[in-house]
Every structure is written in C-alpha cells, then in structure tokens.
Amino acid sequence: MQAGSRVRNRRSSGKLTIFRLAFERKILKMSTDIKPRDCLLQACRMAGNIPIKCWKNLFMKTVFRLIRWPLGQIIILLDWITRPEIPVFPPEKRAELDAITANMKIYQFKQCPFCVKTRRNIRRLGLNIETRDARNDPQWNSELINEGGKYQVPCLRLLKDDGSTQWMYGSNNIIEYLDKRFG
C-alpha cells in the first residue's frame, strides 16, 4: 500500500471512529437540545481527537457567549429601569383574567430581546402568565422542541377550550394576540 493512501485511510478511519462513537454512545440521542455540531465535538473529545474545525467552532462559540452575556445583562437592566406599570384591576376582573391566563405559558430565554419585548407587553396588560426557561430547564426545552415543533423563543402555549394545544411563535404574533384579547 502506498504511503499516501495509508495516511488517507488512517485519517478517514479516524473520522469514522468519531462518528461511530457519536452514534454508539448515543450522544445524538442524549437530548434533543444538543445540536449535531455539539454532539460531534463531544465525540471528538471522547476520541481524544479535536479537529481544527471543532476548535474553531468552540472558539467562535466562546466569543459569541462572551459578547452575548454582557449584552443580555444590559438588556435586562434597561428593561428593569424602564418597566411599564402593572395595571391594578378590581378583584373580580383579576380573578377572571387569572383564570384565562392559567391556560397560557410563555417559553422564553431570560436575556432574549424578543422575550423581553413580549414580557413587557404581558406586564403592561397586567397579565399573570407563567414563564418557562427553555434554555436552562431541560423539561421546558424538550417540550418546546418536541411539542411546539422548533427551538425558538418566545413561544406562547395556549390550552384551548376544546382541549387542544396551540403553540404560537413570534413575538409580534404573541403581542398582537394578547393585545386583541386583553388590550
């Protein structure tokens, strides 16, 4: 066998080992919130073989996180400073609203600007809607992906009168719906 083809073979068998590991150890099945890229990266680490592409991904991810975190904190601070007033309702109206919104859940990330916009609208309308952290809570994360259909926030889960569930994506859609219903 030629030296060049031996090297090629070794390289491709290395790649195959990584993919085999990813599948064999069921990394791809571990959780739906793990992206295929992360599965591969994890498998590479387990095989003791971190390709340059993975290092690049890891580097970009870290840089992105380093930028995202302070930006998110600024968004939260600005939101906190300029938060709209919560309207006060008479007790009967309050109870009526709470009964309706008990069937609604908002899947969201704390620092997402679209979620902040939606939460502000909910506050302005004086609604009590449970918020569910779809980034950090595995239960809400997999519910959003498996039942809602995609990993995007904010998402409003509505339990309708006929017992069916509606998953409403898009901050503008949610705000428009809530404004129409409660505004």
Ligand X SMILES: N[C@@H](CCC(=O)N[C@@H](CS)C(=O)NCC(=O)O)C(=O)O
Could you list the residues that contact ligand X (CB under 6 A)? 109, 112, 114, 151-154, 170-172
Three-state SS for 154? coil
Output the smallest distance, CB 180 to ligand X, in A.
17
- Residue (23 or 69) nearer to ligand X, CB: 69
Quickly tell me which residue has 């992206």 as its tokens. 35
- Residue (97 or 168) nearer to ligand X, CB: 168
Instruction: Return the number of other C-beta atoms located less than 10 Å from residue 178's C-beta.
Output: 22
Structure tokens of 177? Answer: 């719906």
Between CA 16 and CA 14 the distance in angstroms is: 5
Output the smallest distance, CB 115 to ligand X, in A.
7
Q: Which residues, listed in sequence order, are joined to residue 130 by a DSSP beta bridge? A: 105
Output the smallest distance, CB 163 to ligand X, in A.
27
Quickly tell me which residue has 């009967």 as its tokens. 92
- Residue (40 or 144) nearer to ligand X, CB: 144
- Residue (126 or 170) nearer to ligand X, CB: 170
